[in-house]
Structures are given as C-alpha cells and as structure tokens.
Amino acid sequence: MKVLITGFEPFGGSSTNSSWEVASAVSRVHISGVSIEARLLPVSFGRVGDVLKGVIAEVAPDILIMLGQSGQSESIRIERIAINMMDSSKPDNDGYVPDEEVIHPDGPSALFSTLPLKPLRNVLVAQGHKVKISNSAGLYVCNRTYYEALYHLSSQGRATRSVFVHLPKISDEWPLSRLQHTVMQLIQVLI
C-alpha cells in the first residue's frame, strides 16, 4: 500500500509550516507493508496543480492525504468539500492574488472527499484526538490543491482515496508530536 502525504512550504512571512513539518515527520515512520511518501507543495495558485499532478503520477498512491496549516483553527479539521474557485485578499508566495477565479471552467462547482468522513472522525475522536469535519477548505491555495487532486483523480479514473486535513500551527497546545500522532492514527484507520 502506498500513501502520499503532502504539506506546504512556509508562507505569509512564517519560517515554518506545520503541514510540512508533520508530513515530513510522518514519512519517517515505518508501518509494515506501507510506503509513506511525503512531498512539499508550493504555496502558489499557479504552480500547485502541476506539481501535485506530477507527484501523484510519480508515487501512484492508494491513499492521498493533503495537509494544510490553518492558523485560526483550534482543532484538526477534516475537509469535506473543495470549491471550484480561487479568491484571496492575501498574495500567495508568487505574489498572486486571485479575485473569484474559477479553477476548472469545465468542472463542477464543488467536489467531495472520497472517504467516509464521519466514521473516520468518530474513530479519531474516540481515540482522544481533537478532530472535526469542516465544510469549507477556504478559497486559498489549500482549496485549490484539494480541488485539483479530486478533479485530476476523477478525470484519470483513479480509485485513490483522498482527503484534505487542516492542522493548527505548531504550539504549546499542538506540539509537533501531537499533530504527528493524530495524522499517524488517521493513516492507520485508512489502511
């Protein structure tokens, strides 16, 4: 079984991004019979789609877990929906600021995770993790990434199970070890 886990480079003046710190740490854990590959994605509306499609082609994962950082979140959020739109008041790392732009003109308005999210959340909560389901991945690069993944995998006819998960910033309440443990438990449930 192959698991691809992605995280983002730092953005907005930060020197780290919890999504990449966790993805990188998780990829170093050994699970018998499972290959976990971590890949770094750019915080770029224009480049992230091609980079993501390239790593999907390279790894050919059975499970795709995309991680993003949400500085406002007090819990781990499993995202249900990706919206076919980019909109932001903040620039990406390339300095680009989209204004209500469609990602794929021929695509549906929204795409949904290919996983049963409530049972997944319930298992993680029962194990003591602070996890909730979210109905909006926002309209920044995280949403673009999620939409690109679901759109690409569907158009390729791939059965890859995919989900986007927003993590809080690493902090005293959310140390790297706690975030890593939760994502490892997520992987264990999925495999």
- 166 catalytic? Reply is yes
Token pair, residue 169, equals: 């910033």
- Residue 168 clears pLDDT 80, i.e. is over it: yes
Distance CA 67, CA 73 (A): 13
142 in active site: yes
Distance separating alpha carbons of residues 149 and 49, to the nearest angstrom? 8
Choose, from 79, 129, 148, 152, the residue flagged as catalytic: 79
pTM: 0.95
CA distance 169 to 13: 14
Tell me the C-alpha distance between 14 and 162, whole Å: 27
Helix (H) or strand (E) holding 154, with range, is helix 141-155
- DSSP 3-state of 143: helix
Active site residue 152: no
Per-domain boundaries in the chain: 2-190
Q: 138: phi > 0 → left, psi -120 to 50 → alpha, else beta; which?
A: left
Q: Which CATH superfamily is domain 2-190 in?
A: Peptidase C15, pyroglutamyl peptidase I-like (3.40.630.20)
What tens digit of pLDDT does each residue of 120-148 get? 999 999 989 999 999 989 999 999 999 99
pLDDT in tens, 80-116: 999 999 999 999 999 999 999 999 999 999 999 988 8
Spatial distance between the Cα atoms of 53 and 150, rounded to a whole number of angstroms: 11
